[in-house]
Amino acid sequence: MEQQRKFLQTESLPDNSAHLSRKEIGLFRNSPKQNICVQLLQDGDHRSFSELFHLLACDRRRREADPAVGLQTPPLEEQLDKLETMKLHLSRAERAERTGLWSSAYEQLLLLGRFFSSPEDVWLSLYFYRRCSDGERGFRPAVEAQVCLAEFHLEEGEVEQARQQAELSLQQVEDGWLDSDGRSLKLRTLRVLWRIYSRLADAPLAAGDHREALKLLHEGYRIATQTEDKQIEGEAAFKLGLTYQSAGEHDAAKQLFSSCMQIYGSLQDSDGLTKVYKAMARSLQSEGNINETVRCLEKLVDISRSDGLQHNLAESFLRLGDVYYSRCEYQRAAENFLQACEVYCNVGDEAQRQKAQGKVGMARAHCLIRKHIVHLQTAATTSEHQNLNCESADRT
């Protein structure tokens, strides 16, 4: 009996003995899934075990339902690194929960959400983000998870859900919080929210519902000003201005465009400036303020020239030319069109050059016709004078 008891107790020999312990044999013989599960249970982390087991079952079901998924990647239960990571973080989270340290528990879940970044693991990432944000409110990792979810929904086009998540996050976020990359969480939330409002406004704009679009974009603009990101502020102002323009309220549009110009000017963003000037010119033109339009377009030409952006430059010349053409100042129009031609020639854009050439032709033609008419008129008057002189000469 004593011998038997001793024999039984040799099962617990330390690992440096000559015998392999049962555990080591198990590591060799059993599947990675079994080893990890058994390890979790042995350490007392049974909820982590249940969760992991459940996720592996989900993975199996997904692969069965969609054979295409099954062929691309090996099953989750064979990917040891992912299993190990999940085991590590889930057990840490469980231990934190047991002792009541909720924040660090959520932290671990957030880490897991960020870990699964490859496209085939998106469902896992979402699962952990949801788990993280589903719990008690008000913890930093939970709010970060919500923001990540909002970003994901936005990218998938699920704008309403993104909006819900983002607004909730905004209510809960606190000023000093940083996200896992060290950036301000509040500003990130605001940025996401601006993008959501911008996207939400697209549908009413397309349908022509300016009131709705303006409401949304105003909200977006208000948020954008809080993001401390000038680029976004400029974008927001520009979009709002464009909406006012299409609604016909050019004063408001012009105001926004000028604040846009300031922002883009300070950012030295010539692309931004170019588009703002173009939009401003359009506004001015619709108002009928041609002088201002011309001035605006000339400024645009300057900018484009200084930046060496040839296409922009050529386009600005074309616009100027169009404005002069509409005012019947054909000479000036032709000059501008010719300059556009040259630029296109330099760039080598044959198609556009030919178009510009066409416009030059039209402008010159109008010019010539004018001259011809004038010439005819003067010719008529001179010949009249000549006739009169002849007549008077004959009389005398």
Partner 1 sequence: MGGKPKVSSKIIPLASPKGPEKLCELCQRVARLQCTECRATFYCDEEHQQADWVGIHRRICQLLVPIRTQTFLSLQRAGQIVTQQKKAELIEICRSVAQQKLSEGKHQEALPAAQFCLRCSIDVHGPNTVQLVPAYLLLAEANIGLGNVSRVAELLSQAEWSVLKSPDCGHAVHHRLHRSLGRLHMATGNLEQALLHFANDIYFASEAFGLDSTITCRGYFLMADAFAKQGKTPIVRSLYSEVTQIWHCHLTNLLENRIQNAQNPNVLLDSSYDNQSDKAQQVEVDDMLRTMLEFEQKDPRKDPAQVARVAHCLAMMWFLAGDSRKAQGFGSTALQAGQLIPNPDLTEPIQSLLQLVQSLQTEAHPSSDESQNSASA
Residue 12 touching partner 1 (CB under 8 A): yes
Toward partner 1, which CB reaches closer, 5 or 211?
Answer: 5
Toward partner 1, which CB reaches closer, 47 or 114?
Answer: 47
Angle between helices 310-326 and 290-307 (to 10 degrees): 160
Residue 103 touching partner 1 (CB under 8 A): no
Instruction: Tell me how many residues contact partner 1 (CB under 8 A).
Output: 27
Instruction: Please provide the DSSP assignment of 216-272 as one string.
Output: HHHHHHHHHHHTT-HHHHHHHHHHHHHHHHHHT-HHHHHHHHHHHHHHHHHHT-HHH
Residue 328 touching partner 1 (CB under 8 A): no
Q: Cα–Cα–Cα angle for 64, 108, 131, nearest 5°?
A: 50
Residue 137 touching partner 1 (CB under 8 A): no
- Token pair for 18: 């000559």
Residue 184 β-bridge partners: 178
Binding partner 1 (rule: CB under 8 A), the pick from 20, 66, 80, 98 is 98
Question: What is the phi/psi pair of residue 184, to 5°?
Answer: -65, 130
Residue 19 touching partner 1 (CB under 8 A): no
User: Where do the H-state alpha helices sit in the chain?
Assistant: 2-9, 22-29, 32-42, 46-65, 67-72, 80-99, 102-115, 122-134, 140-156, 159-172, 185-207, 210-226, 230-247, 250-267, 270-287, 290-307, 310-326, 330-347, 350-395
Among positions 28-57, residues that touch partner 1 (CB under 8 A) are 34, 37-42, 44, 46-47, 49-50, 53-54
CB of 4 to partner 1, least distance (A): 4
Residue 16 touching partner 1 (CB under 8 A): no
Based on C-alpha coordinates, what's the Rg of the chain? 36
User: Where does residue 255 rank: exposed (0-12), middle (13-18), buried (19+ CB within 10 A)?
Assistant: middle
Residue 75 touching partner 1 (CB under 8 A): no
Which span sits near partner 1 by CB under 8 A: 19-27, 71-79, 114-122, 154-162?
Answer: 19-27
CB of 43 to partner 1, least distance (A): 9
Toward partner 1, which CB reaches closer, 49 or 344?
Answer: 49
Residue 17 touching partner 1 (CB under 8 A): no
CB of 135 to partner 1, least distance (A): 16
What residues have CB less than 8 Å from 138, skipping those under 6 apart? 172
Toward partner 1, which CB reaches closer, 37 or 294?
Answer: 37
CB of 77 to partner 1, least distance (A): 11
CB of 53 to partner 1, least distance (A): 6
Toward partner 1, which CB reaches closer, 88 or 362?
Answer: 88
Residue 86 touching partner 1 (CB under 8 A): no
Taking alpha carbons only, the member of 183, 184, 165 closest to residue 175 is: 184
Positions that interact with partner 1 (CB under 8 A): 1, 4-5, 7-9, 11-12, 22-23, 26, 34, 37-42, 44, 46-47, 49-50, 53-54, 98-99
